[in-house]
Chain A
């Protein structure tokens, strides 16, 4: 058994030493030496063991099927055998797993492909080593996939390290603390930092890591910073300076030490001598924290959880889920972050839609555009697990409740993925009507969590907000229970808005309830973030305190406030839609539309005011009076005007008129600004744009055409390498739909090329509108 809590000396560089001793050129796959020149690999391992390494890493850093193909297993088995021979009974052998070197997600390989490749590496070594080390990870997604593959295909202990740059972030943007909090709960034996920097630059990061994890920490820096000279990599600090800096890191309580690029057996020998003995580490202080791959939020005071990514009661959001309009959903995340949300709740459960698919899409998408931890909100354990697998942080799972089936299915997931959890204070008997009843269920759930191995700081109890209008005194019951739970040391969470259900001016009541809950010790408030700055009235407070006559008083107060607002809106001049849209003034365009709706039907507002305004914009753009940015701004303004019409148009059932335009950036290409501009402009002309996104595979395009036919198809490509995928897409779709109009564009597309692949060339968004008008008449 390896004692990760004891002192362990790791090895130094393998690659740079192998390059030197074998004379291999830069860029050569050094893992092939396991077969071609096992003696040189053996000599490197043996020298490290002689120098005092307690653990040596096999020469398998780049040994994976993506880089070595069919040779992978042979190379890995040879590597393990060589390391075993060199280690004898003097050192442990670690299976070394490096990054796949491929982009994961859009434009690259899929999550499942990455997983299968890591699993192939783990299986090839067949637990013939003493442990597994996953190292030099720059992408937290990559690190987590490798870790899951190792956990699910091996019983060996796992060490995991990432590489950080001088600014304290990995190349993909992960900071040290978020890395630590993300993986500490996922069943690794030690976590560390290696490569990229020398030990001097790594010191502050080592310190941060020690503060952010209860686990043993290991540090394996380079011999300073690299320089490339005539095909050779040269590092800038000698072993004396290396070991001096490592002694400082050891003093932090880091007892697992080694070297990365540029270090040699001589460095390791001196390191072992100069860092003798086990250094004591300051006690790790547990804190409540959630994180995404790029930021940690410490829950050290009430934090705001944005509630708007949720279809309940929201027609527009439901439509977005049904139509796969993920941009709309992601924009909700961005808006809430900008409005002050610290954390975002994600709920996409809607009848008739594929919740698991939608959840994965939204979780993956949000991680690219917002630096906020996510709450995975679903009643289905299968959906929870799908999201947790792909979420690159420490998530909050919403939720488990007191029913045995829920405890049995949800808590193991929370534990496995190192997440935190919301415990709803309800069970088989429903929601307890008293504060005492909810406290009892809450406490029982806390015990169940602890039993499942979930730490106290990762548990949040929800004492359930009910509609005060339905039952007087329920707000006080919720807050009272919360106060009691808080005393037990568990965290607390509440959805806030429900309290005002059935009442006018709900925000007033919500804001007041929020203040009351905060005073009682609320940690996480699930609300519309714009609520945090709203002043609430004494009427709302009296209502929530269930004072005599307070409901009527509140309603009378609300009615008065409403009438003032209505007066404000009257007496204004009829405004000019064209001026608003050409000027790119979205708020103004919306206002104008609302005013027009008083006298015109929504479709007439569109036909008589918005479309003519857009035609003016298109004309000005064509004449070179305005430019692309103004065209986009005008399209955005028109969109706002349309949004004023939308609710009423939907009510009249006038949305679809058969003019459908399926739009995609072709397979392999992820440049989509041009496509997005086309979407923004075209959708204002009454066309139903079905945006498939970017890097869209051929069958997905075909399926969308099938679903929407008759329609037109729009394809964009920005690279010469992907233009041929455009040709292939058209070829496949035309096999089934020979008459389908296809509009193509993008930087590398010329009119001649377009014609040769059977597409109509559109040089910009304006040209696309013209082409569509010709097609649809």
Chain B
């Protein structure tokens, strides 16, 4: 659940912004349907490439290699808050653009918060076994190519189980959908998400559009 005060920060000042935030949260709460496909798998290192065992998933680039440095397995998932959220935003764009803007922001925060919960639940489960989980990373972050998105979706059968499709431009539909991967290991090494972002240092700390 998103706090109205948190959302209101992006919507202006005072009671008006707070009221708008509350309405937006109400709209999203009424139509969001949280669902996900999660998987864990061993990580295979071959000739300098990283591969998720028993899948077609290869993970190129320095950034993901850095993140998974101390990991011998991965946790990866696809999470969405569903198609009805998109329908609601589409409808509001035509009937109440102000609210549409706030609902769009709210839904983005919502799916991110849902991912936090998934990530934390897995972290808690792993810590019982003495294992740790790095923070999550997504296609399009740093030098992990966005085109990998379709492999992620195929491997997780996200079309079949969640109804996730890609647009020609590589955007996921429903639009409030996230795929992410995190490393499982014993080192306990944690990387903060912002620190592993290529824009770290130049970012103004606002809403992250990556």
Contacts and interface: CB of A to CB of B under 8 A. Distances in A.
Nearest to B86: A368
Interface in A301-319: none
Contacts of A107: 167-169, 171, 173
Contacts of B42: 230
Interface residues of A, number: 69
B49 to A, nearest CB: 15
Interface stretch (A486-494, A607-615, A646-654, A673-681): A673-681
B169 A719 contact: yes
B20 A232 contact: no
B53 A230 contact: yes
Given A107-B171, A629-B11, A668-B168, A25 B97 contact: no
Given A27-B154, A107-B173, A673-B104, A230 B54 contact: yes
| Interface of A (DSSP majority class) | loop
A636 B159 contact: no
A370 B83 contact: no
Contact of B17 (A109, A327, A627, A721): A627
A174 B171 CA distance: 22
Interface stretch (B31-39, B59-67, B118-126, B127-135): B31-39
A728 interface: no
A170 B167 CA distance: 19
B205 to A, nearest CB: 16
A231 B54 contact: yes
Contact of A27 (B57, B164, B169, B209): B57
Residue from A101, A109, A228 whose CB has the most chain B CB atoms within 10 Å: A228
A101 B159 contact: yes
Given A167-B33, A228-B39, A629 B12 contact: yes
A721 B53 contact: no
B56 interface: yes
B56 A26 contact: yes
Interface stretch (A180-188, A275-283, A330-338): A330-338
Contacts of A635: 97
B162 interface: yes
A628 interface: yes
A628 B20 CA distance: 12
Residue from A27, A196, A233, A368 whose CB has the most chain B CB atoms within 10 Å: A27
A747 interface: yes
A172 B80 CA distance: 12
Contact of A721 (B41, B146, B157, B173): B146
A14 interface: no
Nearest to A748: B209
Nearest to A337: B91
Interface string B101-112: 110100000000
Interface string B130-142: 0000000000100
B90 interface: yes
B84 interface: yes
Interface residues of B, number: 59
A559 interface: no
A298 B147 CA distance: 45
Given A229-B40, A232-B54, A629-B17, A108 B168 contact: yes
Contacts of A214: none
A335 B159 contact: no
Given A27-B151, A139-B163, A334-B91, A231 B97 contact: no
B144 to A, nearest CB: 13
A630 B173 contact: no
A136 B161 CA distance: 10
A337 to B, nearest CB: 9
B155 interface: yes
Nearest to A725: B169
Interface in B46-102: 52-57, 82-84, 87, 89-91, 93-95, 97-98, 100-102
Interface in B18-39: 20, 33, 35, 37-39
A225 to B, nearest CB: 9
A229 B75 CA distance: 10
A25 B161 contact: no
Contacts of B104: 673
A81 B14 CA distance: 70
B35 A165 contact: yes
B156 interface: yes
A103 B172 CA distance: 9
B12 A627 contact: yes
A25 B55 contact: yes
Interface string A613-646: 0000000000000111110110110000000000
Contact of B97 (A26, A136, A338, A636): A636
Given A172-B83, A668-B167, 12 more contacts: A26-B54, A101-B159, A107-B173, A139-B163, A171-B83, A228-B41, A229-B40, A334-B94, A627-B11, A673-B93, A719-B169, A748-B209
Interface of A: 25-28, 99, 101-103, 107-109, 136, 138-139, 163, 165, 167, 170-173, 195-196, 226, 228-233, 294, 327, 330-331, 334-335, 338, 368-370, 584, 626-630, 632-633, 635-636, 667-673, 676-677, 680, 695, 718-722, 725, 747-748
Interface of B: 11-13, 16-17, 20, 33, 35, 37-42, 52-57, 82-84, 87, 89-91, 93-95, 97-98, 100-102, 104, 140, 146, 151, 154-157, 159-171, 173, 175, 209
Nearest 5 Cβ contacts at the A-B interface: A171-B163, A231-B54, A668-B169, A228-B39, A627-B12
